[in-house]
């Protein structure tokens, strides 16, 4: 497959230029929302919907043959996805924070809405936006199908009774006509309070299968359209979910996670015949489906460099040749047309920024359509995997990003643990890591025990280890960097968001003598209070309680690993940054930690981000966060050792 033949030469020249002293890109280059965020290809492959930031405005742009059919401002929405429904409609899923009335356990909630954007002159409209019987936004998306020339979306919604009150806290399944905007109830909610339901929908607009789960008893059943039980079992921690239709008509696929954390992907015939486990022998990150039939066509195998695989031989060949067109880079398949001969991919990797391409397998061409971050090749810090042993001998790995154009010797370092904690980092362009690397820091992103994508045993090894071995896994990685002479042991700071923010706080309270400063973004300071808040907002859901007890422990256990209880032990300055509208980790987690540190006479700063959520969805506040964090680290751990 042809590719830009000069790219390798350009990168080589850029690497030479990077050795010459020059100003680093401004923090705006990294801190603002990426200029290219999302893309989706229409079924024919002729049209491309792009969401990105132009200047200070997030915009939806639809392109055909190089011509913009739509160039519209998206506004201040927290955008989550972009999809096509046929050739003439784009679906945007957006989130917003809304207040709740009296009687709820929380005063605010996050609501997801689906906006339908017609490409003709018709106005944009919201699913359920004009309904008098459904409210609460969209609670689950089950795909779109075309039937008799009309496109329908299948979504969950909260049903209202004749008085205008919500019938139940659980959604019901609706079919929405994307031309008339009318909604039709397709399947009802569970009757019992602690029961829940989920569904798989067929292209003809009927329910193929229903998953029923009892949180109180931990029992589950899957029923077919005739209400026959075709699979059942017990999962006290809710480790069962429907994935969709199977590889062939008349089958579905569900995932079952056992109490040891091992996941099985099961293809179940709808007639109740024996099931078969599929996609064995590796870790799975996601799945691919046919646009029209909804059938399973492929999967994403997880690894340091994840790969997309397809069951169809021709599709597998196209994907393999696409990966070969970008040697040395991670190639993520974003979308594709019905014929699977035109693809949208995102590439990243050592020395390369986050870039987006359209690939035409018939013409054997790849065309660059944009970049997430406009960082010149020479200013991209090289990244690679670093492997090491934890203190108890467990194999570990993390991503090491080095400052561009500098020798990997005796560098200052920012340790950047990920959130989740069931998440993981890959050797790809990371905007926070690259921002610090551009300022002269090595950045280390450890995949500590409890991280996902590295096997069930590795994830299970993190149960009950918050603030304990999960924490020492991080500092053990720092120790390996010191052993190899890459970083200076006296010039380390720790920075993290969400669980990573917890790890940053634990790094200077539960641990001492390791870091010169800590930056916690939306971090957890009081684990017991966070658990109590989540359980209360769930209505004391039995499954959630069992999950917390298994993975974190009970009251005394979590109190012993809560940084707020050890604020008087903090041995380095702390910066706390938190969104005021964070509904995952409430803002008070940082406010109360700041107060505790102040009472203990410690150096602490608190930055409140008005209107921001847990994910830093807005460009202005993202940049505010990054600017404050970099200034704080440079003050307490300057990249120039003479300072």
Whether the per-residue pLDDT at 626 is higher than 90: the answer is: yes
Contact 137, 93 (CB under 8 A): no
Together in a domain, 439 and 309: no
- The answer to which of 279-283, 376-380, 492-496, 629-633 has the lowest mean pLDDT is 279-283
Take residue 416 and report the two structure tokens written for it.
């950047």
pLDDT higher for 69 or 194? 69
Query: Could you tell me which residue, 16 or 83, shows the higher pLDDT?
Result: 83
Q: Pick from 2, 10, 8, 15: which is nearest to 382 by CA?
A: 15
- The label of the residue with tokens 């100003």 reads 23
CATH number reported for the structural domain that contains residue 632 in this entry: 3.40.50.1820
Domain termination site, one of 250, 280, 302: 302
CB 111 within 8 A of CB 171: no
- Hey, which residues does 96 pair with through a beta bridge? 111
pLDDT category at 168 given cuts 50, 70, 90 is: low
Alpha-carbon distance of 237 to 57, in angstroms, equals 42
Least confident of 186-190, 220-224, 467-471, 595-599: 186-190
On whether both 268 and 348 belong to a single domain, the answer is: no
| Average pLDDT over the chain, rounded to an integer | 89
**pLDDT for 14 beyond 80:** no
**Higher-pLDDT residue of 21, 524:** 524
Distance CA 483, CA 161 (A): 66
Residues 411 and 511 both lie in one domain: yes
Whole-number Å distance between alpha carbons of 251 and 232? 16
Query: How would you class 599 by CB atoms within 10 Å of its CB: exposed for 0-12, middle for 13-18, buried for 19 or more?
Result: exposed
Clarify whether residues 203 and 345 are in a common domain: no
Share of the chain above pLDDT 90, in %: 68
Distances in Å between the alpha carbon of 160 and those of 60, 156, 581?
33, 13, 27
pLDDT of residue 126: 93
Domain identity same for 254 and 402:
no
Query: Is the pLDDT confidence value at 98 over 80?
Result: no
Residue 131, domain member (yes or no): no
Show the CA angle centred on residue 425, arms to residues 423 and 429, nearest 5°.
Answer: 135
pLDDT in tens, 35-44: 899 999 999 9
Same domain, 328 and 296: no
Bridge partners, 296 (sequence order)? 289
Query: For the chain, what is the domain count?
Result: 3
Tell whether 468 is covered by a domain: yes
pLDDT score for 57: 79
pLDDT above 60 (res 243): yes
**Whether residues 277 and 365 fall in one domain:** no
281, 336: one domain: no
In a domain, 333, yes or no: yes
Are 147 and 123 spatial neighbours (Cβ–Cβ below 8 Å)?
Answer: no
Residues 461 and 589 in one domain: yes
**Residue 197 domain boundaries:** 190-302
DSSP at 630: H
Q: What is the pLDDT of residue 199?
A: 96
Does 170 map to a domain? no
Q: In this structure, what token pair is assigned to residue 346?
A: 């995102």
Domain end (from 251, 267, 302): 302
Q: For the residues 620-642, what does the mean pLDDT come to?
A: 92
Q: What is the pTM of this model?
A: 0.90
Alpha-carbon distance 73 to 129, whole Å? Answer: 20
Beta carbons within 10 angstroms of residue 181's beta carbon: 15
- Do the beta carbons of residue 347 and residue 357 sit within 8 Å? yes
pLDDT at 103 over 60: no
505 belongs to a structural domain: yes
Considering the domain architecture, whether residues 397 and 521 belong to the same structural domain is answered as yes
Residue entry with tokens 């969400």: 498
Residue at which a domain ends, from 240, 275, 302:
302
Asked, as a colleague might, if the bond just before 124 is cis with ω within 30 of 0, I would say no
The answer as to whether 46 is a domain residue is no
CB atoms within 10 A of CB 458: 21
6 CB-near residues (< 8 Å, 6+ apart):
none
**Two tokens, residue 518:** 């800590």
Is the pLDDT confidence value at 5 over 60? no
Cα–Cα distance for residue pair 62/80, rounded to 1 Å: 17
Q: What angle do CA 393, 300, 456 make, to 5 degrees?
A: 30
The answer to whether residue 407 sits within a structural domain is yes
Q: Is residue 406 domain-shared with residue 477, that is, in the same domain? A: yes
Contact 355, 32 (CB under 8 A): no
Residues 320 and 253 in one domain: no
**In which band, very low, low, confident or very high, does the pLDDT at 21 lie, cut at 50, 70 and 90?**
very low
- The token duo for 23 is 């100003």
pLDDT tens track for 529-563: 998 888 887 777 888 888 888 888 777 788 899 99
Least trusted range by pLDDT, from 246-250, 303-307, 595-599 = 303-307
Q: 7: helix, coil or strand?
A: helix
Q: Strands 125-126 and 487-497: what pairing?
A: unpaired
- Phi, psi for 284 (deg, rounded to 5): -115, 130
Taking Cα atoms as reference points, which of 2, 38, 40 lies closest to residue 337? 40
Q: Is residue 541 part of a domain?
A: no
């Amino acid at each position: 497959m042809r590719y830009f033949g000069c790219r390798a030469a350009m990168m080589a020249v850029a690497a030479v230029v990077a050795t010459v002293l020059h100003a680093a890109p401004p923090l705006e280059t990294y801190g603002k929302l990426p200029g290219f965020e999302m893309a989706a290809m229409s079924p024919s492959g002729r049209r491309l919907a792009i969401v990105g930031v132009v200047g200070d405005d997030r915009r939806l742009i639809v392109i055909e043959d190089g011509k913009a059919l739509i160039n519209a401002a998206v506004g201040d929405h927290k955008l989550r996805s972009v999809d096509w429904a046929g050739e003439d409609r784009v679906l945007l899923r957006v989130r917003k924070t809304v207040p709740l009335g009296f009687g709820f356990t929380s005063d605010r909630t996050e609501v997801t809405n689906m906006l339908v954007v017609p490409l003709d002159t018709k106005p944009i409209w919201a699913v359920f936006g004009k309904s008098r019987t459904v409210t609460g936004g969209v609670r689950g998306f089950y795909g779109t199908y075309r039937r008799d020339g009309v496109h329908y979306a299948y979504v969950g919604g909260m049903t209202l009774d004749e008085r205008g009150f919500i019938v139940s806290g659980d959604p019901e399944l609706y079919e929405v006509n994307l031309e008339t905007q009318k909604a039709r109830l397709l399947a009802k909610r569970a009757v019992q309070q602690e029961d829940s339901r989920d569904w798989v929908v067929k292209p003809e607009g009927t329910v193929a299968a229903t998953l029923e789960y009892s949180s109180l008893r931990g029992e589950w059943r899957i029923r077919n359209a005739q209400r026959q039980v075709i699979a059942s079992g017990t999962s006290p921690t809710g480790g069962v979910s429907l994935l969709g239709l199977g590889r062939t008509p008349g089958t579905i696929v569900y995932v079952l996670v056992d109490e040891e954390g091992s996941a099985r992907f099961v293809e179940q015939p709808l007639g109740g015949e024996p099931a078969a486990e599929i996609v064995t022998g590796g870790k799975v990150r996601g799945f691919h489906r046919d646009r029209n039939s909804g059938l399973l066509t492929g999967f994403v195998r997880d690894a340091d460099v994840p790969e997309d695989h397809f069951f169809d031989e021709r599709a597998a060949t196209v994907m393999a040749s696409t990966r070969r067109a970008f040697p040395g880079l991670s190639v993520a398949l974003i979308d594709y047309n019905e014929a699977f001969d035109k693809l949208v991919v995102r590439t990243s990797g050592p020395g390369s920024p986050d870039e987006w391409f359209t690939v035409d397998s018939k013409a054997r061409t790849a065309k660059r359509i944009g970049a997430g971050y406009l960082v010149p090749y020479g200013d991209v810090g090289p990244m690679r995997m670093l492997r090491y042993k934890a203190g108890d001998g467990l194999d570990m790995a993390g991503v090491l990003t080095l400052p561009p154009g500098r020798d990997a010797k005796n560098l200052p370092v920012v340790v950047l643990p990920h959130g989740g904690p069931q998440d993981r980092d890959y050797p790809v362009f990371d905007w926070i890591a690259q921002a610090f690397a551009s300022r002269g820091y090595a950045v280390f992103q450890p995949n500590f025990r409890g991280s996902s994508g590295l096997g069930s045993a590795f994830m299970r090894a993190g149960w009950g280890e918050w603030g304990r071995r999960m924490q020492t896994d991080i500092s053990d990685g720092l120790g390996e960097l010191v052993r190899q002479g890459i970083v200076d042991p006296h010039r380390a700071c720790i920075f993290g968001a969400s669980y990573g923010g917890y790890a940053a706080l634990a790094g200077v309270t539960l641990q001492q003598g390791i870091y010169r400063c800590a930056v916690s973004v939306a971090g957890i300071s009081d684990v017991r209070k966070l658990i109590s808040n989540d359980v209360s907002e769930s209505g004391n859901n039995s499954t959630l309680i069992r999950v917390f007890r298994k993975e974190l422990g009970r009251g005394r256990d979590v109190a012993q690993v809560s940084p707020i209880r050890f604020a008087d032990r903090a041995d380095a300055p702390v910066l706390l940054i938190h969104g005021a509208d964070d509904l995952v980790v409430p803002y008070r987690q940082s406010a109360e930690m700041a107060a505790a540190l102040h009472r203990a006479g410690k150096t602490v700063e608190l930055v409140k981000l008005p209107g921001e959520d847990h994910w830093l969805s807005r460009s202005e506040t993202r940049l505010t966060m990054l600017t404050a964090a970099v200034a704080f680290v440079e003050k307490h751990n300057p990249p120039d050792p003479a300072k």
